[in-house]
């Protein structure tokens, strides 16, 4: 591995010049989190050597909630109840806080009940008698197992590093870049031997994988239990599941099970559509598993928010009551959405957010406020119906026009309302007459003034008292406190503008949840990343983030969204501490005298009457902004649970690979089942290859399946069946397979890569040799990921082994078992292209500068295995491509990121106006890189993201560059 120089870490702000020496003017900076750390995760390139295997983790539900435990006659519930009562008696005799020295336990069937304190025992006892939601399979499933997988680092991304590359191509800049990636450049042996031991600098994280597996990894590889301050979860709502899976990066107009690809496969529509009613049971198990792990991750003062629609909000709340306990319920937030169109009857225009605390008594809560607006009902803005002239001499009611449009209120006239100056009880020193402007007023025999006579005098001098018939009233001005507390009805959170993802949440919704329950520098997690709204909002508000998704399409969108985002620079209280030191808030007024800062006065009758300075309230969403700085997303990593197959045992068998073993057998069966249901491989341009007679081959050593590919132009009647036992042409027969009519076509072989790993070269080699020996006409290598050398072998299989091969990418969503039933077939298997990349060397302009290089993405070649033709997609027709100008073979550093033919970089371009030539930005929206200098490794890597989110990588040596 090439050694990389690490210079000064980029922490806090570089005030004199922008990071990387940007000239004065509007400069780009990001926040760092110098006080936080996380355990070193290994780069994907060291997987083969990584040995720290962990056994699967078993999670148990709270056994007192098992549906079998009803409190009656012979039921075990009775025994548990009596045991709990005894513990309550015992704990009550202990000194406060009535905790046992060691937890008391009792076995109930498979589960173990644990009681730590009096409160615990009371809680458990209460639960025994509480009604619960039951569903199919719940009683039997008292625990579940999750594989404990390490996370490998696949990419390091940094907007600042990209901007640095654009600034120039000098070698020293190139070296400086690794600190911009926050890459500590650990030697390989450290990564192999000390991974998950070394604390490293904190970097935000995007993770590809099932949330259950990733959360389990965070818990058991990294010990992150109890360290997450807030979780925002926006799961599929459990209805119309298909619409949560957007199959294309650049097409979000998907309707549930209704995209073009589905309608071309009517039998598939039927097979997938009718499963959800039954699937609700698995949906609830799906939610319960994930919520249980989420709870483990939450800090004692932490909160979880679950966004859900009205169809299942009641069920999910029941499940959350079980997992988090009813007493930790903090609220049900109603979020107005634009929707309900086309529905008959009462239009449903709300989604819901369920909010639970890890422990309501220790909850971190920051009150949020909304601005009071004259004429509007919220916060009683409508009650401010009077105006006082600037000289304090004239009072008049607001006109209807002024109420409708407060900008019509003449400047310096102050809106106010008249409120009571009395309270309803006799008090000796305040139930007295009071003289105001020559008239005597009395509060009434059974009432009193709200303040003393001295206080009333002060109010009068401050112009706060007004005659109203036979009594006196208090003038409360709108600007006494121009804000009001938010409630659980959020009808002012605009929907996501310019949505990139079909189910994108509005940023203001997530921002409110985050600002209410976290402080800057806290850690937030989203196990359902989608287009990355939580990460985006966390980045905006200086929170640390981890976001997870099982699909590549949303993660491709989220990466682009974060890399190209710009945010206000909120001033930090302590530069050296990053956001964790807090933001600066100040009191400020605009020209009209309105309070517009993050600190607002809270003037009250009491403060005036007692001659006290008014209280002040902090509006946490209004920190001071440094207008000279454009803030960009800080460095983040792209990680995945998908490692390469590794021989952990050292016995020559790849553990996660296509070796023997029960788990792999089950996995192959599942994949076969999926392939039979969706026997269509998708290519670019809506072309497909259909497989028939998919089945297990007899006596196979390495192959997973065989099938027949109909010759081009041939069509098979949908749903027809082959007579039992009829042989597949050209291949060895097998018994007990699904019968289909005979289709004349080419017999082909399939091999499935590992469930939790990438396809290895060894797997391709062995499968290809067997396929060639058995005279199959083609080998399909199906995997979730593939090692570069394995991919190379696939391409050269025909020449090397004598059988052509094609790599077929399977979507990682497949790992979610049951839910798969509702997935679009168009997303399951796709044939990815191979990038055609041209690397050129040229003399750099300027005297001392040596060679510079340019990469051009000429296109994506997609092989059609049915016609044996190559189809080409132009370089500028891909959704995204990334360039590492100094690839070390371990992890991809995104030095340049291209989003062709989009306006993705436009915000940043505008914000950094003048810093870069237009040509630079044009490169980033095209198919050719900006020039760069040679790095130490002498190697570059290009990663292309295709329309389905598949990632295709090529590596090139600089010495092979064209002149």
Among 12, 77, 150, 236, interactor with ligand SAM by CB under 6 A: 236
Q: Which of 221, 434, 501, 892 binds ligand SAM (CB under 6 A)?
A: 501
Q: Classify residue 607 as left (phi > 0), alpha (psi -120 to 50) or beta.
A: alpha
Stretch that binds ligand SAM, among 179-187, 329-337, 542-550, 700-708 (CB under 6 A): 542-550
| Smallest separation (angstroms) from ligand SAM to the CB of 641 | 10
Contact by Cβ (8 Å): 191, 150:
no
Q: Which positions from 633 through 672 interact with ligand SAM, judged by CB under 6 A?
A: none
Residue range at the interface with ligand SAM (CB under 6 A); choices 250-258, 497-505, 573-581, 871-879: 497-505
Site membership for ligand SAM, residue 503 (CB under 6 A): yes
Q: Which stretch binds ligand SAM (CB under 6 A): 197-205, 379-387, 503-511, 617-625?
A: 503-511
Residue with tokens 């979730």: 784
Q: Is 548 in the site for ligand SAM (CB under 6 A)?
A: yes
d(CA 292, CA 300): 15
Token pair 């006080």 is at which residue?
A: 35
The single residue listed with the structure tokens 């001392």 is 848
**Which run of H or E residues covers position 682?**
strand 680-682
Sign of CA dihedral 114, 120, 126, 130: negative
Distance CA 752, CA 400 (A): 72
Alpha carbon separation from 693 to 176, 716, 725, 865, 873 (Å, rounded): 56, 11, 11, 17, 31
Q: How far is the CB of 945 from ligand SAM (least distance, A)?
A: 16
Per CB under 6 A, the list member of 174, 505, 517, 806 interacting with ligand SAM is 505
Binds ligand SAM by CB under 6 A, chosen from 179, 216, 244, 301: 244
CB of 210 to ligand SAM, least distance (A): 4
Closest of 275, 241, 257 to residue 825, by C-alpha:
257
List binders of ligand SAM among 176-235 (CB under 6 A). Answer: 210-211, 234-235
Candidates 207, 228, 202; CA nearest to 149 is: 207
- Rounded to a whole number of angstroms, the minimum distance from the CB of residue 6 to ligand SAM is 34
150 or 235: CB nearest ligand SAM: 235
Peptide bond into 195 cis (omega under 30): no
- Taking phi first (over 0 means left), then psi (-120 to 50 degrees means alpha), and beta for anything else, what does residue 641 get? alpha
Q: Give min distance, CB of 246 to ligand SAM, in A.
A: 7
Site string for ligand SAM, 507-536 (x = CB under 6 A): --------------------xx-xx-x---
The CB-of-333 to ligand SAM minimum distance in angstroms stands at: 15
Q: How far is the CB of 284 from ligand SAM (least distance, A)?
A: 14
Q: What is the 3-state secondary structure (H, E, C) of 65-97?
A: HCCCCCCCCCCHHHHHHHHHHHHHHHHHCCCCC
Instruction: Please report which helix (H) or strand (E) contains residue 764, including its range.
Output: helix 761-773
Write each residue from 554 to 573 as x if it is in contact with ligand SAM (CB under 6 A), else as -, in one continuous string. Answer: x-------------------
Residue 282 in the binding site for ligand SAM (CB under 6 A) = no
Nearest to 181 by CA among 157, 200, 207: 157
- Bridge partners of 803, per DSSP, are none
Using the minimum distance from each CB to ligand SAM, give the nearer residue, 11 or 516: 516
503 vs 934 by CB, closer to ligand SAM: 503
**Closest CB to ligand SAM among residues 527, 635:** 527
Backbone angles phi, psi at 954, to 5 degrees: -125, 145
Residue 835 · residue 904 · CB < 8 Å = no
Q: Measured between alpha carbons, how far is 805 from 147 in angstroms, rounded to an integer?
A: 31
In terms of CB distance, is 204 or 244 closer to ligand SAM? 244
Determine the Cα–Cα distance for residues 168 and 17; give it in Å rounded to an integer: 16
Bridge-partner residues for 525, per DSSP?
231, 546
Nearest-CB residue for ligand SAM:
530
Alpha-carbon span 656 to 660, nearest angstrom:
10
Count residues binding ligand SAM (CB under 6 A).
Answer: 21
Question: 331 phi and psi, to 5 degrees?
Answer: 165, 155
Please provide the distance, in angstroms rounded to a whole number, between the alpha carbons at the two ends of the chain.
26
Q: Does 937 bind ligand SAM (CB under 6 A)?
A: no
Dist. CA 424–CA 427, nearest whole Å: 10
- For residue 557, the tally of other CB atoms under 10 A from its CB is 28
- What would the x/- binding string for ligand SAM be over residues 814 to 853, using CB under 6 A? --x-------------------------------------
In three-state secondary structure terms, 627 is strand
Which part of the chain contacts ligand SAM (CB under 6 A), choosing from 32-40, 155-163, 452-460, 501-509?
501-509
Is the Cβ of residue 194 or residue 252 nearer to ligand SAM in the bound state? 252
Phi, psi of 546 (to 5 degrees): -130, 130
539 contributes a contact to ligand SAM by CB under 6 A: no
Least distance from ligand SAM to the Cβ atom of residue 816, Å: 5
Choices 396-404, 496-504, 649-657, 856-864 (CB under 6 A): range interacting with ligand SAM: 496-504
Q: In whole angstroms, how close is the CB of 509 to ligand SAM at the nearest point?
A: 9
Q: Which stretch binds ligand SAM (CB under 6 A): 183-191, 499-507, 729-737, 830-838?
A: 499-507
For the chain, count helices (H), then strands (E): 22, 47
State the alpha helices, DSSP H only, in 774-852. 788-795, 797-801
Regarding 285 and contact with ligand SAM (CB under 6 A), the answer is no
CB of 237 to ligand SAM, least distance (A): 7
Contact status: 549 vs ligand SAM (CB under 6 A): yes
Q: Name which of 83 and 286 has its Cβ closer to ligand SAM.
A: 286
- Closer CB to ligand SAM, residue 504 or residue 888? 504
Q: How far apart are CA 330 and CA 363, in angstroms?
A: 9
Q: Which residues pair with 851 in a beta bridge?
A: 843
- Contact positions vs ligand SAM (CB under 6 A): 210-211, 234-236, 244, 501, 503-505, 527-528, 530-531, 533, 548-551, 554, 816
């Amino acid at each position: 591995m090439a050694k990389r120089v690490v210079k000064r870490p980029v922490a806090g702000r570089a005030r004199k010049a922008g990071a990387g020496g940007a000239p004065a003017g509007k400069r780009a900076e990001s926040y760092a989190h110098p006080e936080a750390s996380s355990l070193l995760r290994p780069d994907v390139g060291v997987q083969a050597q990584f040995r720290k295997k962990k056994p699967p983790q078993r999670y148990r539900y709270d056994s007192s909630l098992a549906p079998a435990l009803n409190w009656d006659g012979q039921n075990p519930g009775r025994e548990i109840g009596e045991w709990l009562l005894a513990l309550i008696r015992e704990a009550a005799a202990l000194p406060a806080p009535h905790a046992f020295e060691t937890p008391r336990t009792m076995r109930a069937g498979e589960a173990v009940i644990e009681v730590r304190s009096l409160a615990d025992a009371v809680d458990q006892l209460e639960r025994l008698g509480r009604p619960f939601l039951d569903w199919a399979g719940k009683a039997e499933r008292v625990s579940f197992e999750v594989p404990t997988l390490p996370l490998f680092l696949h990419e390091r991304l940094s907007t600042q590093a990209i901007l640095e590359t654009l600034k120039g191509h000098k070698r020293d800049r190139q070296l400086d870049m690794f600190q911009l990636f926050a890459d500590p450049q650990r030697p390989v042996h450290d990564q192999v031997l000390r991974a998950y031991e070394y604390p490293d600098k904190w970097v935000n994280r995007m993770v590809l994988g099932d949330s259950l597996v990733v959360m389990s990894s965070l818990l058991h590889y990294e010990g992150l239990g109890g360290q997450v301050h807030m979780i925002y979860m926006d799961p599929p709502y459990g209805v119309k599941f298909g619409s949560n899976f957007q199959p294309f990066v650049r097409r979000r107009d998907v309707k549930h099970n209704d995209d073009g690809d589905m309608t071309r496969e009517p039998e598939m529509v039927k097979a997938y559509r009718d499963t959800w009613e039954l699937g609700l049971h698995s949906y609830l198990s799906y939610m319960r598993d994930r919520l249980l792990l989420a709870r483990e991750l939450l800090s004692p003062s932490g909160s979880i928010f679950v966004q859900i629609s009205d169809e299942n909000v009641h069920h999910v709340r029941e499940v959350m009551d079980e997992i988090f306990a009813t007493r930790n319920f903090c609220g049900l937030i109603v979020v107005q959405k634009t929707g309900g169109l086309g529905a008959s009857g009462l239009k449903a225009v709300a989604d819901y957010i369920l909010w639970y605390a890890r422990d309501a008594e220790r909850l971190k809560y920051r009150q949020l406020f909304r601005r009071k607006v004259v004429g509007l009902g919220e916060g009683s803005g409508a009650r401010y119906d009077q105006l006082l002239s600037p000289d304090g001499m004239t009072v008049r009611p607001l006109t209807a026009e002024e109420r409708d449009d407060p900008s019509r209120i003449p400047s310096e006239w102050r809106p106010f309302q008249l409120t009571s100056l009395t309270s309803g009880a006799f008090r000796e020193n305040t139930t007295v007459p009071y003289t105001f402007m020559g008239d005597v007023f009395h509060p009434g025999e059974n009432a009193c003034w709200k303040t003393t006579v001295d206080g009333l005098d002060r109010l009068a001098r401050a112009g706060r008292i007004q005659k109203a018939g036979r009594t006196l009233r208090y003038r409360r001005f709108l600007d006494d406190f121009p804000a009001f507390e938010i409630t659980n009805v959020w009808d002012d959170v605009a929907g996501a503008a310019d949505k990139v993802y079909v189910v994108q949440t509005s940023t203001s919704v997530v921002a409110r949840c985050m600002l209410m329950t976290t402080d800057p520098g806290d850690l937030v997690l989203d196990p359902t990343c989608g287009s990355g709204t939580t990460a985006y909002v966390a980045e905006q508000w200086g929170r640390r983030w981890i976001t997870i998704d099982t699909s590549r399409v949303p993660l491709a969108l989220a990466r682009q969204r974060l890399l190209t985002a710009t945010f206000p620079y909120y001033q930090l209280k302590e530069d050296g501490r990053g956001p964790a030191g807090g933001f600066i808030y100040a009191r400020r007024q605009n020209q009209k005298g309105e309070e517009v800062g993050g600190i607002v006065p809270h003037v009250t009758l009491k403060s005036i009457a007692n001659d006290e300075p008014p209280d002040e309230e902090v509006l946490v969403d209004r920190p001071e902004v440094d207008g000279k700085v454009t803030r960009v997303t800080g460095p983040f990593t792209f990680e995945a649970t998908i490692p390469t197959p590794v021989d952990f045992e050292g016995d020559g068998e790849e553990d996660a690979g296509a070796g023997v073993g029960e788990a792999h057998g089950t996995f192959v069966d599942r994949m076969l089942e999926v392939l039979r249901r969706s026997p269509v491989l998708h290519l670019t341009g809506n072309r497909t290859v259909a497989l028939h007679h998919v089945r297990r081959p007899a006596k196979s050593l390495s192959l997973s399946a065989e099938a027949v590919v109909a010759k081009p132009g041939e069509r098979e009647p949908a749903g027809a069946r082959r007579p039992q036992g009829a042989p597949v042409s050209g291949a060895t027969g097998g018994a007990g397979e699904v019968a289909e009519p005979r289709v004349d076509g080419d017999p082909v072989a399939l091999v499935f890569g590992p469930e939790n790993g990438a396809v290895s070269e060894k797997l391709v080699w062995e499968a290809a040799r067997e396929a060639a020996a058995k005279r199959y006409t083609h080998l399909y290598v199906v995997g979730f990921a593939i090692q570069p050398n394995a991919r190379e072998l696939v391409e050269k299989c025909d020449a090397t082994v004598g059988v052509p091969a094609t790599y077929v990418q399977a979507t990682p969503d497949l790992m979610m078992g049951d839910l798969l039933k509702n997935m679009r077939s168009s997303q399951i298997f796709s044939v990815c292209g191979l990038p055609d990349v041209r690397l050129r060397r040229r003399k750099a302009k300027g005297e001392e500068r040596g060679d510079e290089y340019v990469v051009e993405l000429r296109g994506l070649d997609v092989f059609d295995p049915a016609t044996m033709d190559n189809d080409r997609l132009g370089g500028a027709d891909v959704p995204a491509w990334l360039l590492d100008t100094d690839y070390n073979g371990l992890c991809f550093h995104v030095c340049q990121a291209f989003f062709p033919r989009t306006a993705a970089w436009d915000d940043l371009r505008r914000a950094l106006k003048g810093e870069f030539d237009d040509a630079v930005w044009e490169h980033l929206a095209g198919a050719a890189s900006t020039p760069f200098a040679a790095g130490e490794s002498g190697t570059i890597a290009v990663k292309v993201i295709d329309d389905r989110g598949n990632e295709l990588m090529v590596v090139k040596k600089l010495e092979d560059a064209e002149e």
